[in-house]
Amino acid sequence: MAKVYITGIGLVTSIGNDVPAVAESLRELRHGFEVYAPFQKADVPVKVVGTIKGYETDSYDCEDWRYPSRFAVKREILRGMAPHGLYTYCAMLDAIADARLSTAEVSNRDTGLYAASGGSPHLLGYYLQRMNSLGVMRCSPLGIVASIAGTVNFNLVSHFKIKGASCGFASACASSSHAVGYAFEDIALGRQQRMFVVGAEDGNVESILPFAGMRALSLQANPDLASRPFDLGRDGFVGTGGAAVLVLESEDEVERRGARTYCEVAGWGQASDGYNVAISHPDGDGLRAAMEHALRTTHTEPEAVDYVNAHATSTPIGDISEARALRAVFPESATRPAVSSTKALTGHGLSLAGAMETAFCAVALRDGFIPGSAHLLNLDPACEGLNIIRATLPQAPRVVLNNSSGFGGANVCLVLRRE
């Protein structure tokens, strides 16, 4: 099996739109939350969002959108994109530049792209409303490719002339971790030499507010308190959007190109709860099994793990499930790894989360630090017995796990390491 490395990262996130800015936010525990203007209505009890800065994508008309001037995106490209399509396009350009890939290295039979997003309920709603009021023949010709799940892979694969493997993943909040896992496998098995992995979400009214119906969102109006995984006062997650693009390459390609690496993707594991469509297993059964698979298949002893980037979204039930799973996988309290959830800084990116947090772990491995837990004031007693760190630790981790869990009880654990 070929070794697989992360060689490039592109980010559009609530805590920064490039790797240095994001690294600083992670170290300094600087969050990306703001009181979100579209939520400031009497009938909307949710107030805070992890906002994307430097972009304006609220309009239904893509020609009204604003984005950083260093990107120039043609209308014929924008017209088939959702807001998160634009984020991925810009993040993709940054990831390609970060990995120092030539056009030929992006477009060939050995380079593929896996993507995950929830689609764009924002645009889909608008197009359906237009169809219902004006008639079916007045639907925008690109309405479907811009709005349905899969929009990210449709757009990026065509615009970047990707010729290798491509598809989308739909396991909700585990989606882009699944994408990383299968991209790793394609390279490890020699099917592909290089894979782009993309996670993204609009992070606007229509993609976040529907979660209010299942009482999953924090109603906290103070941006400094809204997202606090493992804290006794947590009351739900804070939504966010953006895009994360990872470049995964085989060791042969890394050597041939003389590429700089962030870290190795050592392997992964996945397992399902088989329990409830929307609620995680109370003991974190599936997540525990996913972590155990990941450790076993990468020949990693639990004591060797230095840091776990927890899925913990700041919901009352989910964080406890994960704490139980972690206690089961790491029974020796003296050697338990540092645990934190960077969702305390970014909010929950849904399909974006797995790829974004993999990027965070890769940055922590390269730069040699372990991001702490922002906003954790009173640890929930149900989450005790773990090494949930408060402040950022200056020491370099060697082995890192990144957990993700999605609807239907899908769980993924990715193993990253640096020798």
Partner 1 sequence: MAQASDSNLGAPKAAAVPAKPFSPEDDAYLREVLKRCSAPTYEAASQFRKTRNTEHLPAIVLGIIERYVEPDLRAKLKDPDDDLRLIEDLGIDSLTMMEIVILVEDVLQMSINNEELRHLRTLGDVKQFIDCKVRGLPLPQPTKFLPIEQIASVMPIQPPFLFLNEASVSSQGASAKYRISGQEFFLQGHFKDNPVMPASIMLEALGQLAVLFLLEGGALEPGKVVNPQTIFFTSCEGVRCHRMCRPGDVLVLSIKPKRLKIPLATFEGAIRVGQDKAAIAEEITLTFGYAEAVAVEAGQPPAATGEPASLPTAVNA
As measured in angstroms, the least distance from the Cβ of 142 to partner 1 is 6
Which of 3, 53, 79, 257 is close enough to bind partner 1 by CB under 8 A?
A: 79
Asked if 419 touches partner 1 (CB under 8 A), the answer is: no
Asked if 142 touches partner 1 (CB under 8 A), the answer is: yes
Beta-strand ranges (E) seen in 36-146 are: 48-50, 111-116
Which of 42, 72, 104, 137 is close enough to bind partner 1 by CB under 8 A?
A: 137
Asked if 70 touches partner 1 (CB under 8 A), the answer is: no
Which of 140, 221, 292, 396 is close enough to bind partner 1 by CB under 8 A?
A: 140
Mark the segment that binds partner 1 (CB under 8 A) among 17-25, 73-81, 230-238, 333-341. 73-81
> How far is C-alpha 54 from the chain's CA centre?
19
Asked if 138 touches partner 1 (CB under 8 A), the answer is: yes
Mark the segment that binds partner 1 (CB under 8 A) among 137-145, 151-159, 280-288, 408-416. 137-145
Q: Which of 311, 361, 383, 413 is catalytic?
A: 311
Contact set for partner 1, span 25-64 (CB under 8 A): 63
Q: Which is nearer to partner 1, 81 or 312 (CB)?
A: 81
Q: How many Cβ atoms from other residues are within 10 Å of residue 367's Cβ?
A: 15
CA distance 289 to 266: 17
CA distance 254 to 258: 6
Q: Which is nearer to partner 1, 63 or 332 (CB)?
A: 63
Identify which of 113, 117, 119, 118 has the alpha carbon closest to the alpha carbon of residue 167.
Answer: 113
Q: Which is nearer to partner 1, 137 or 277 (CB)?
A: 137
Mark the segment that binds partner 1 (CB under 8 A) among 70-78, 83-91, 146-154, 362-370. 70-78
**Binders of partner 1: how many residues, by CB under 8 A?**
10
Write phi, then psi, for 398 (nearest 5 degrees).
-105, -40
Q: What is the DSSP string of 282-350?
A: TT-HHHHHHHHHHHHHTT--GGG--EEE----S-HHHHHHHHHHHHHH---GGGPPEEE-THHHH-B-G
- Contacts of residue 162, defined as CB under 8 A and 6 or more positions apart, other chains included, come to 106, 107, 111, 112, 113, 156, 196
Q: Is 348 a catalytic residue?
A: yes
Q: Which of 31, 159, 348, 375 is catalytic?
A: 348
Q: How many helices (H) and strands (E) does the chain have?
A: 14, 13
Asked if 141 touches partner 1 (CB under 8 A), the answer is: yes
As measured in angstroms, the least distance from the Cβ of 138 to partner 1 is 6
Which of 41, 42, 72, 75 is close enough to bind partner 1 by CB under 8 A?
A: 75
CA distance 400 to 391: 17
How far is CA 358 from each of CA 25, 41, 58, 174, 311, rounded to the nearest angstrom? Answer: 16, 35, 28, 12, 11
DSSP 18: S
CA distance 99 to 36: 34
Three-state DSSP state, 136? helix
Pairing label, strands 166-168, 111-116: parallel
Which of 74, 104, 301, 381 is close enough to bind partner 1 by CB under 8 A?
A: 74
Q: Which is nearer to partner 1, 135 or 213 (CB)?
A: 135
Q: Which is nearer to partner 1, 23 or 142 (CB)?
A: 142
Structure tokens at 190: 């020699």
Q: Is 173 a catalytic residue?
A: yes
Q: Which is nearer to partner 1, 64 or 224 (CB)?
A: 64
Asked if 332 touches partner 1 (CB under 8 A), the answer is: no
Q: Is 62 a catalytic residue?
A: no
As measured in angstroms, the least distance from the Cβ of 81 to partner 1 is 13
Q: Which residues bind partner 1 (CB under 8 A)?
A: 63, 74-76, 79, 137-138, 140-142
Tell me the catalytic residues. 173, 311, 348
